């Protein structure tokens, strides 16, 4: 069957497209770390973008006030809709966000581990970590399930027992290749086997 499509009438108008969340995270980070004022327009009021603003507010002095305002204004209704765009807040986020950064000197260490509240069921970071571990070790997981960091911890214990770092044959071969390229003296034969 052949279908003929004929051109339609001219379509005119404008469409406001929500800001991209991936880019919004980068905008916020760059604005907070930049020296001077940045003007951001169209940041999506999503939970994860709000959490990025909260984290940045915790490690910047000069940018903190405007990031705090963004985070507060992004909050209403976001929690009930998850991390997606909140259509109810579209107009307020078409307004520019002015972020005053101080460059690298303006970044300060956080007072404690950052907990930006972006966890399921409004858990704290500590409660969330515990829930994840209980889930990994709990119901229905196959025997031998690993915890995050378990491989690294076991490698540390093996290195500690051997009295130094342990490398695989593939890693040693790569070291040898790099040494030859850099014209550095290196002999795999001089390494002590574990």
How high is the mean pLDDT of the chain?
77
- Are 78 and 25 spatial neighbours (Cβ–Cβ below 8 Å)? no
Long-range contacts for 186-191 (Cβ within 8 Å, ≥24 apart)? 191/167
Average pLDDT over residues 97-101: 88
Note the pLDDT tens digit of each residue in 34-88.
888 998 888 887 777 888 888 888 888 888 888 888 887 765 554 444 444 445 5
Q: Evaluate if pTM is beyond 0.85.
A: no
Average pLDDT over residues 1-17: 72
pLDDT bracket for residue 92 (50, 70, 90): low
pLDDT at 118 over 70: no
Would you list the DSSP string of 122-190? G--HHHHHHHHHHHHHSTTPPTTPPPTTHHHHHHHHHHHHHTS----HHHHHHHHHHHHHTT----GGG
- What H or E segment, with its residue span, contains residue 35? strand 35-41
In angstroms, the CA 32 to CA 106 distance is 8
Of 2-6, 75-79, 132-136, 180-184, minimum mean pLDDT range: 75-79
pLDDT at 151 over 70: yes
- What H or E segment, with its residue span, contains residue 99? strand 96-102
Residue with tokens 């490690």, as numbered in its chain: 59
């Amino acid at each position: 069957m052949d279908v003929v499509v004929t051109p339609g009438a001219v379509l005119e108008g404008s469409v406001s497209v929500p800001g991209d969340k991936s880019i919004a995270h980068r905008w916020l980070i760059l604005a907070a770390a930049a020296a001077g004022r940045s003007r951001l327009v169209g940041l999506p009021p999503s939970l994860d973008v709000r959490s990025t603003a909260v984290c940045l507010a915790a490690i910047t002095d000069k940018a903190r006030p405007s990031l705090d305002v963004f985070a507060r204004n992004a909050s209403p209704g976001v929690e009930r809709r998850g991390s997606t765009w909140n259509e109810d807040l579209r107009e307020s986020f078409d307004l520019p966000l002015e972020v005053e950064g101080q460059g690298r000197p303006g970044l300060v260490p956080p007072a404690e581990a950052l907990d930006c509240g972006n966890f399921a069921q409004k858990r704290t970071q500590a409660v969330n970590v515990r829930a994840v571990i209980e889930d990994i070790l709990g119901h229905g997981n196959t025997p031998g399930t690993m915890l995050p960091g378990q491989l690294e911890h076991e490698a540390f214990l093996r290195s500690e027992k051997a009295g130094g770092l342990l490398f695989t044959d593939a890693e040693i071969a790569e070291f040898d290749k790099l040494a030859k390229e850099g014209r550095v003296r290196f002999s795999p034969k001089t390494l002590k086997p574990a």
